[in-house]
Homo-oligomer: A and B are copies of this chain.
Amino acid sequence: MSLPQVSLRISYESPITLTDMPKSVTAFAPASVSNVSCGFDIMGFALERPGDTVTVRYCDSPGVRIAALRGETNGLPLDASLNTAVAPVAALLRDFGAGIGVEIELVKGLPPGSGIGSSAASAVAAAVAANALFGAGLQPRELLKYAIEGERIASGSVHADNVAPSLLGGYVLIRGYEPIDIVQIPVPDGLWCTVVCPDVVIRTKEARDILPAAISLRDVVAQTGNAAGLVAGLIMGDFGLVGRSLHDVVAEPARAKLIPGFDRLKSEALDAGALGSGISGSGPALFALSTTREVAEHVGDRLTEVLTSRGVRSLKYVSTISKIGAHIVEEAP
């Protein structure tokens, strides 16, 4: 194995030598809830778990290849070039390790196409691992553009509302896209998230195509009021305001029909004590926010029961909003 390009990047002042550098890095990136009801395309937050784990290691043949896919791989594209873990590594390789070769091992901890940022988690974990492996030394915010490369492959357009929270952790507002303006919103303690992923397939593109092309002025006023209210409620720790703000008049009315029993699921979540709920990402997952773990578990149980009664299997996750984003799990020499 030869690493001539890497050695060129080590300056004389650097304490790093080739022997210090890992030959394999493993990173974890969490699932995330994006859109968050009224925050269509502008908000997302990281869960503690589940998440994807990616190992990037040097290999002899130049370029990037997938060595192994494990875990929740059902529904992943068979074409490796469409795997969202590949593009960020290829982009980092181009900028920081041209000429060398790496292979990727991806352990999917969250199911693809579920609406909790599966493609983003793979892309983010891969970017974080490759950053460390190549000694690129990029800060998380600098890694964003590389991780977004993966999302571009998954959805055909640039969205950061899963990538940013998975990478940075916490609750993220994407104030604007031109240029991208990421704002980390302080999250109050004591906020719990329930996610239920029904085992139905919704393609991201399909969920986009169903959206209205235009929104009435009245609905724009409602949506901006709720989006501003949600952010204010989070920063001020006003859970009542958070709950009152969780209404989406833009995407939810169109996308609800893609999720079996959506209205019933929403009302069950509220009945079970949630502050509010909505579609996670472009679905089919639903999220709900609650103020205790017990309520969050109860909400999850109720939603699972409703889905089961309709013959729909589902996965349930209960988690706080994680303050830690993607991180290195292991560096092997």
Interchain CB contact under 8 A, A186 and B236: yes
Interchain CB contact under 8 A, B217 and A173: no
Chain B min CB distance to A181 (Å): 6
Residue of B nearest to A220 (CB): B215
* B residues near A42, Cβ cutoff 8 Å: 221, 224-225, 228
**Binary interface encoding of chain A residues 213-244 relative to chain B, with 1 for a CB under 8 A from any of its CBs, else 0:** 11111001111111111111001100001001
A43 touches B (CB below 8 Å):
yes
The secondary-structure label for the interface of chain A is: mixed
* B residues near A311, Cβ cutoff 8 Å: none
Interface stretch, picked from A33-41, A72-80, A142-150, is A33-41
Chain B min CB distance to A256 (Å): 17
* B residues near A38, Cβ cutoff 8 Å: 224
Interchain CB contact under 8 A, A176 and B212: no
Residue of B nearest to A222 (CB): B176
A211 touches B (CB below 8 Å):
yes
* B residues near A66, Cβ cutoff 8 Å: none
Chain B min CB distance to A85 (Å): 27
Identify which of residues 160-213 in chain A touch chain B, using a CB-to-CB cut-off of 8 Å: 173-177, 181, 183, 185-186, 211-213
Known: A225-B176, A228-B228, A228-B230. A216 touches B214 (CB 8 A): yes
> Once the chains are docked, how many angstroms separate the CA of A315 from the CA of B171?
43
A154 touches B (CB below 8 Å):
no
A245 touches B (CB below 8 Å):
yes
Residue of B nearest to A42 (CB): B225
Which of B183, B226, B250 lies in contact with A175, CB distance below 8 A? B226
Chain B CB within 10 A, most for which of A214, A220, A231 = A220
Chain B min CB distance to A247 (Å): 8
Interchain CB contact under 8 A, B213 and A244: no
Chain B min CB distance to A239 (Å): 13
A residues near B, CB below 8 A? 38-43, 173-177, 181, 183, 185-186, 211-217, 220-232, 235-236, 241, 244-245, 247, 250
7 extra interchain contacts, Cβ-Cβ under 8 A, other than A39-B224, A215-B216, A231-B231?
A173-B228, A173-B229, A173-B232, A176-B225, A213-B217, A227-B228, A228-B231
Enumerate 15 A-B pairs (CB-CB under 8 Å) in ascending A order: A40-B224, A41-B225, A43-B228, A175-B228, A183-B229, A213-B216, A214-B214, A214-B215, A215-B215, A215-B217, A215-B220, A220-B250, A228-B230, A232-B232, A235-B235
> 8 shortest A-B CB distances, which residue pairs?
A175-B229, A214-B214, A224-B227, A42-B225, A228-B231, A41-B221, A227-B228, A235-B235
